[in-house]
Amino acid sequence: MDVLAGFVSRCASKFKLDFLWDNRYRKPLPTMPRLTRRRNRSRSRDSSFEYKRRRSDYYEDSRHRRSRSRSRSCDRRRRDHDHYHDYQDNSYRDRSYTPQRDRWDNQKHSRSRISRHYDESDNGSHYQSRDSSRHSRNRYQRRRRRRSYRHHRHTTFSSDTSKDESEAGPRVVDDEEGHLIYQPGDVLQARYEIVSTLGEGTFGKVVEVKDMQRNSERLALKIIKNIEKYREAAKLEINVLEKLRAKDPDGQFPCVNTIEWFDYHGHVCIAFEMLGLSVFDFLKDNHYIPYPIESVRHMAFQLCYAVNFLHENQLTHTDLKPENILFVNSDADVTFNPRKKRDEFVVKSTDIRLIDFGSATFDHEHHSTIVSTRHYRAPEVILELGWSQPCDVWSVGCIIFELYTGYTLFQTHDNKEHLAMMERILGSLPYRMVKKTKKTKYFYKGRLDWDSKSSSGRYVRESCRALERYLRDPENPDHRDLFDLINQMLEYDPTERLTLKQAMIHRVFDKYQVKPEGETSKDGDRERSHSLSR
C-alpha cells in the first residue's frame, strides 16, 4: 500500500489530475437549449424557500400524513369555518367538530404526539401543551390559524351569541350584507314572533311580528343590519324617538309610536305600532290617480302639524317624502272604472303617521352639507348655502303637490337640471342666492348657465310649466287656496319661506280650526286651536 501511495503522489506532481475530482475543470455536456416557463415555475425552487422545504419534509412524515391529506374544497372551507369559530368564541362550536374529537383522531395515528388540553384560562383561544407553554407551539399551526382568521374576518357575518343560547337552539347568523337570517315563526327576545317581511332597505329589514306579551298584537319590528354605521344611525334615531315620546307621552301628534327597542346579537331592533301602506305605495297601487282634494287637505294639515312639532323641539326631519308618510289604516273602497277598465281605490281613512327619524338633526348638532331625497331637496341645500327647518317646509310643499297631481314636481337626478326645473316652474332664482353660493359652475353672469336647446333642456321645457297651470280645477277656491299654500312653501329664500306654524292657520285649513271664545291673537283675530279629525 505504501508503494502504491508513493506512486500516486509522484504522478500527481507531474500530471494535473484535479479534473478527476474538482468541478472547476469539468466542462458541461452539450445539450439542447431548454425553454423555461417562468409563469408556471414554482417559487419553492427559490433558495429563499429552503427552510420551507425542510419544514415540509418534516410534516410529510407518516405521523402527519393523514391529517394533511387533501380533501374537497367545500370540506376544507367548512372545516376552516368551524375552526375559526372555535378559535374566536366557544359558543360558535359546531357539535360535529370539537377540539377534543380532533385530538382523539390525531392520537390514533401518533403515539409520540404530545397530549393537549383546552386552556380555560385563555378564553378558548388556544390549545396548550401540558409539557410546555403555549408560546412554544409549532409555528405551522399558529400561521395556519392566522390565515384562517384573516380569511374569515372579511367573509363571515355572524352575530354574537351566548353559550347558553347556542346550546339551546340554532346559532344566530347574518347574510353577507349584514341582514339577520330568520324564518317565519322565529321568536326574538322570547317575546316577538316573526310573521312575515314587510320591507327592506339599506338600513335593514322591517318585519311583522306578534307581541306575545300583549295578546299577540301585531307590530312592525325594524331590524337594523349588523354593521357599525347602521347601528350608530339606529341609536341616533332611538335618541330622537325617545325625546319625542317624552314631549308627547299621550301620542297626540301624528308621529309613529314606538313600543320599545333592544339589541339582538348586534342587530338594533325597534318595535313600532303596525301601520298601513305609505301614501306613495297607495298612490302607485292606484295607478297614480291623485287623491281627492279633501284627502289632500286633511293629510297636508296632519303633515304640517307633525313636522311643526319637530320644529318646536329644535329638530329638523331632513328626509320628508311620501314613502315616509304612512296611513294608520290603508283599507279602501273599490270602484270599477268602465272607461279605463280597471279598479280604482279610495282610502277610507286619511289619518297618517310620520316615520323614519334616522336623519333627523337637532339644531345644535352638526349639519351635513347634503340632506333630503333629491326630488324634495330645497334650493339652499343644492347651492350649499346651509340649511335649517325651512328645508322641511320646501319638502312638505313638494309632497302636497305630489298628492294633488299624482306625480313628482321635480323629477330629476342632476343639480343643474333641478335648478332649471325650478326656474321653469317658479321663476328665476334670486340674485342674492346666486351671488352667495360657491357653486359658480352652475351660473354665468348671475344667471343659470343652461342650454335650453339640449336634450335635457327640451325635457325641462316639455315637462315643466308654471305652477298655476297644474291646477285641476282653476275655478274652485279650495284648489286655488291649496296652490297658494304650496306657492308660499316653495319660496326660494328660506328666510322668506312660510313656516309650518303659519301654514297651519292658512285659509285652506279653516275646516280644521277651532276658535275658542274670548281668546284673541295679537292681530285681533281669535287664537286658533287645531283639530286633526275630518
Instruction: Tell me the per-residue pLDDT of 353-372, one tens digit each, with 9 for 90 and over.
Output: 999 999 999 999 999 999 99
Is there a contact between 330 and 282 (Cβ–Cβ < 8 Å)?
A: yes
State how far Cα 435 lies from the chain centre. 37
pLDDT of residue 157 exceeding 90: no
Is there a contact between 299 and 350 (Cβ–Cβ < 8 Å)?
A: yes
Whether residue 215 lies inside any domain: the answer is yes
Tell me which H or E stretch contains 267: strand 267-273
Confidence (pLDDT) at 247: 94
Same domain, 251 and 379: no
Phi-psi region of 405 (alpha: psi -120 to 50; beta: other; left: phi over 0): alpha
53 contact partners, CB below 8 Å, separation of at least 6: 44
Same domain, 199 and 289: no
b (16+ CB within 10 A) / e for 377-400:
bbbbbbbebebebbbbbbbbbbbb
Burial of 26 (0-12, 13-18, 19+ CB in 10 A): exposed
Same domain, 258 and 399: no
Can 392 be counted among the known catalytic residues? Answer: no
> What's the grid cell of residue 260?
320599545
Confidence (pLDDT) at 510: 93
Phi-psi region of 522 (alpha: psi -120 to 50; beta: other; left: phi over 0): alpha
Confidence (pLDDT) at 105: 47
Confidence (pLDDT) at 175: 87
Backbone angles phi, psi at 347, to 5 degrees: -65, 140
> What's the grid cell of residue 68?
394533511
Between CA 169 and CA 234 the distance in angstroms is 28
Same domain, 429 and 498: yes
Q: Which of 89, 174, 319, 392 is catalytic?
A: 319
Confidence (pLDDT) at 12: 64
User: How many domains is the chain built from?
Assistant: 2
341 is in an annotated binding site: no
Whether residue 128 lies inside any domain: the answer is no
Find the CATH number of the domain harbouring 224.
3.30.200.20
The last residue of a domain, from among 273, 297, 324: 273
Residue with cell 348586534: 266
Whether residue 93 lies inside any domain: the answer is no
Total Cβ atoms within 10 A of residue 116: 19
Confidence (pLDDT) at 180: 94
Find the CATH number of the domain harbouring 328.
1.10.510.10
Is there a contact between 422 and 379 (Cβ–Cβ < 8 Å)?
A: yes
The last residue of a domain, from among 249, 273, 297: 273
Confidence (pLDDT) at 173: 86
Same domain, 435 and 464: yes
Whether residue 145 lies inside any domain: the answer is no
Same domain, 474 and 357: yes
b (16+ CB within 10 A) / e for 347-361:
beebbbbbbbbbbbb
Same domain, 301 and 423: yes
Same domain, 246 and 290: no
Mean pLDDT over 160-176 rounds to 59
The last residue of a domain, from among 273, 294, 317: 273
Confidence (pLDDT) at 164: 46
Residue numbers of the domain that contains 234 = 175-273
DSSP state at residue 406: S
Confidence (pLDDT) at 464: 95
Whether residue 284 lies inside any domain: the answer is yes
Q: What is the mean pLDDT of the chain?
A: 78
Between CA 314 and CA 248 the distance in angstroms is 15
pLDDT of residue 162 exceeding 60: no
Same domain, 265 and 342: no
% residues pLDDT > 90 (the chain): 59
Confidence (pLDDT) at 243: 94
Between CA 170 and CA 172 the distance in angstroms is 7
DSSP state at residue 278: B
Same domain, 501 and 368: yes
pLDDT digit string (tens) for 484-504?
Answer: 999 999 999 999 999 999 999
Per-residue confidence at 345, pLDDT binned at 50, 70, 90? very high
Whether residue 233 lies inside any domain: the answer is yes
Whether residue 402 lies inside any domain: the answer is yes
Whether residue 207 lies inside any domain: the answer is yes
105 contact partners, CB below 8 Å, separation of at least 6: none
pTM of the predicted protein model: 0.68
pLDDT digit string (tens) for 241-290?
Answer: 999 999 999 989 999 999 999 999 999 999 999 999 999 999 999 999 99
> What's the grid cell of residue 54?
425542510
Is there a contact between 278 and 284 (Cβ–Cβ < 8 Å)?
A: no
Same domain, 260 and 398: no
Same domain, 422 and 291: yes
